[in-house]
Amino acid sequence: MELGQEKLCWRKQQFIGMDFDAVDVSVYEMVSRYSQLGLKPLFSYNSFSHDPNSGLHNYRLVWRVTDSLNDSYDETHAAIKKMRELSGGLADKNACSVSRLWQGTRSGVTTYDSCAPLLEVKNLLY
């Protein structure tokens, strides 16, 4: 698909992820920060580029969103940008596309909470 055309075929979002590359804040600390805001992620994992010996952290946090067909592409995109702001600007600004596909990991999850609340896209905006 041509760049910029994803908006034409996007219908709804089930997960929102934040990508953190070479940051000095650990995955556990970032999960705690979001949790204190009432935005506890469903799970997190170290990304392929994570090197525990480097002193910096590479990871992703993932939230499950409410199943709403009423959320528009633009609202979801704005919510992802808001989630990045809430990270203190540490999340990768180039990873805010609504249609972004996330790669897994070879190291397993670092945190998982099956009871994490669903993320309400509209609550981040209004």
The DSSP code for 118 is: P
pTM of the model: 0.86
In sequence order, the 6+-apart residues with CB closer than 8 A to the CB of 126 are none
Q: How confident is the model at residue 1 (pLDDT cuts 50, 70, 90)?
A: very low
d(CA 11, CA 94): 22
Give the pLDDT confidence of 82-106 residue by residue, as tens digits: 999 999 999 998 887 787 766 777 6
Please enumerate, as own/partner, the contacts of 102-106 that have beta carbons within 8 Å and a separation of 24 or more: 102/15, 102/17, 102/19, 102/60, 102/62, 103/47, 103/48, 104/45, 105/45, 105/46, 105/47, 105/48, 106/48
Contact call for residues 59 and 114 (beta carbons, < 8 A): no
What is the arithmetic mean of pLDDT over 51-72? 84
Topology of the domain comprising 13-125: Alpha-Beta Plaits (3.30.70)
Q: Give per-residue pLDDT as tens, 12-57.
A: 778 889 989 888 999 999 999 999 999 999 999 888 677 778 888 8
Average pLDDT over all residues of the chain? 86
Question: Domain spans of the chain?
Answer: 13-125
d(CA 59, CA 110): 9
